[in-house]
A and B are shown apart, each in its own frame.
Chain A
Amino acid sequence: MAKEMQLSGCAAFAQAAKMAQVEVICSYPIRPYTAIMMELAKMVANGELDAEFVHGEGEHAQLSVVLGAAAAGARALTGSSGVGVTYAFEVYSPIAGGRIPLQMAIADRALDPPGDFGSEHTDAMSCRDQGWLMGWAENPQEAFDNCLINYRVGEDHRVLLPQFVCQDGYFVSHIPGLVTLPEQKQVDEFLPPYSLPHPLDPKRPVSHGPQIRPDQGTVMDMQRAQAMLDAPAVIKEVVDNFNRIFGRKYSPFVEEYMTDDAEIGFFIQGAHTMTARHAVNHLRSKGVKAGLVKLRFVRPWPTQEVAEALSKFKAVGVVETSTSYGGAMRGGNLLHEVRASLYELPQRPLTTSFMAGLGGEMVPLKDFYYMAEILSKAVQESKTRKTVYWVGFEAEDKTKH
């Protein structure tokens, strides 16, 4: 019987992991994702979940433990935040290149310095080129759903890639939202048991990860690249199936909101999408032709879908909740990939970066109105005055300072 509960993103994710019947979990505490592990620990202690709960000695160890476990044939889960995510960096490539489809929950957090517990996408975004599937949840329901979707896609033998399942720290991880929990039999129908083509098994010995010559390495890289090329078709298939079984209406890669006849729009991922939607509604009521496009998968980046969706706008504000110092656009990460997606279009919208929500700051409605004003002006002038705006800190911006 489907159950409705008010759950935080962490609690919701833990419920999904339980229903996915994860078998090996490796924990290490760091705010704000720790709550996921605390929930799972209770479940294991109470016998609700039959899994090995391993206390890792650090994030690098967490990834190493689940690598061993998943290679041996168990569905494995770990997670982290902030500098924990970057501490484990060494192991991300061995896992993706070894084609071990384990899952890592990331409740994101700003990187040091200084110590800041606040949400920021930079931690996970810094790791996006290692060959992992990756995307953000907007709310606890999506956090729950993404856990199951990602296991199903990653474990598909056409893909076999690990997954970063991300949610905004505090805004999603700690604020309860309505979550509909499915029945176990629905989950079992959607997610078959974990099965690796060549697990570590004395009955069928294989060697994982030998030393190679340079000419043998490119082949492995190409295969990993091919997996990313094959993944979108699988994602589409899986999300359609998910929607059918669980009664949701997810668009696999991007979600469009009020994009028909829109002139200006926000390109955004994660928690602040919720506020952006309200902003769009308000702007529309004021006669501004606003819309938004929400990104669900950073990797594989849905180039085609992004181009199609954004081509409907005259000016797009890319809301960046992560930093890329010295990057081409001198701002965040997303604008680089947005512009690359738009490059081939005969008619390209104007695009600019809005640095917002960094360090755990809220992105209130007035920030979105400020962004809309800038975008509207850009449409009038047929050009953007700047390619990056640090919202709240620009000289003419009176909203914060």
Chain B
Amino acid sequence: MAVAVKTQKLPPIKLIRNVPKEEYYVPGHRTCAGCGPALQYKLVAKAAGPNTIFVGPTGCMYVANASYLCTPYTVPWMHSQITNGGAVASGIEAAYKVLLRKGKREGEMPNIIVMAGDGGTVDIGLQAMSAMMYRGHDVLFICYDNEAYTNTGIQTSPTTPYGANTTFTPPGKEIPEGKTLFPKDPPQLVIGGHPAVKYVATASVAYPVDLINKVRKALNVVGPTFLHIHCPCPKGWKFDEAKTVEVARMAIETGMWNMYEWENGEYRHQFKPKKYKPVSEYLKLQGRFAHLQEAHIAKLQAFVDTKLKTHGIPVEVPAPSPRAH
């Protein structure tokens, strides 16, 4: 019997040994050693299972994965332009709705997942992502955030942190901090004004089981959902590729990355450190911040403190206003 609406409920994982053993993202792809986005892709594919269709907007997770007529996906996958991941996924979902309803396909509504980078989510892809959320398609939109346009050689994107060195924001005499703009906040953009969205969460490769569970939770919701996943990029952020998890963890411990779920209007903050470490602990792990001076670091600290306060997370020391510097 064909079902036009998902009834599956993917179960959460409580123990590592219950992580499913099947892989739908097989090796041999040409991502860099230690690639953060590749790791989250593997975990997402594992969480979603075989009844899944991926949409891959142009980016590292397209070019590096499906290179030279090769493909690491053992589930259906389709390339989209970097501009239209949300739109193509909407079309696939609409097609499945009508095909299942008419009995032209058998089984359940598949999981439809957009795997977009930060640019394909909140820059050039923003329009399509927002429209998909607004129209209420049963699609999971994942933003794998490596905080830059990395595939084209590390250029700034709207999620690149203030003070980062990228090839479009190199530090110099006139612009000592490199990047002068503060980043957009993707999950807040989604939560802010899309009434059809019921579940938004942030995740990190630092906590893989949590990531798997959030993917499953999002897929179990019938309607549009959004996951913002932090994936450090060893080449773009300039750190030893063995340290990806350490960097991701430090982002959380300094407040540069916040872990939470938002469901039906309610926030659940997670992995909150008892005491936040100063952002300098995070910055010093990465070469892309090596040029920052005290004043810049203080500005970034103020930004983080304000962000935490907005979320209602208590901060030890009252934050000076970002304009003070």
Contacts and interface: CB of A to CB of B under 8 A. Distances in A.
Q: Do chains A and B touch in the complex (CB under 8 A)?
A: yes
A377 B16 CA distance: 89
A216 B110 contact: no
A388 to B, nearest CB: 37
B31 to A, nearest CB: 12
A202 B106 CA distance: 11
Contact of A216 (B51, B68, B77, B84): B68
A64 B96 contact: no
A74 B128 contact: no
A210 B69 contact: yes
Interface string A296-317: 0000000000000000000000
Interface residues of A, number: 44
Contacts, number: 154
Interface in B41-79: 50-53, 55, 62-63, 66-71, 73-79
Interface string A135-149: 000000000000000
Interface string A199-218: 01111111111111100100
Interface stretch (B85-93, B208-216, B235-243): B85-93
A359 to B, nearest CB: 30
Given A52-B95, A68-B90, A90-B83, A200 B78 contact: yes
A24 B92 CA distance: 9
Given A68-B55, A73-B95, A202 B80 contact: no
B99 A202 contact: no
A52 to B, nearest CB: 4
A165 interface: no
Contacts of A206: 76-77
A43 interface: no
Interface string B177-196: 00000000000000000000
Contacts of B53: 72, 200, 202
Contacts of B71: 207, 210
B101 A50 contact: yes
Contacts of A23: 95, 98-99, 102
B87 A200 contact: no
Contact of A58 (B73, B105, B127): B127
Interface string B4-31: 0000000000000000000000000000
A172 interface: no
B94 interface: yes
A348 interface: no
Interface of B: 50-53, 55, 62-63, 66-71, 73-81, 83-84, 87-99, 101-102, 104-105, 107, 110, 127-128, 130-131, 134-135
Given A60-B87, A205-B75, A210-B70, 5 more contacts: A66-B91, A72-B96, A73-B104, A207-B78, A209-B78
28 contacts: A23-B98, A51-B98, A57-B131, A57-B134, A64-B128, A65-B88, A65-B90, A66-B91, A68-B78, A68-B87, A71-B91, A71-B92, A72-B96, A74-B94, A90-B81, A91-B81, A94-B81, A201-B105, A202-B50, A202-B110, A205-B75, A205-B76, A206-B77, A207-B78, A208-B79, A210-B70, A210-B79, A211-B62
Interface of A: 23-24, 26, 50-52, 54-58, 60-61, 64-74, 76, 90-91, 94, 193, 200-213, 216
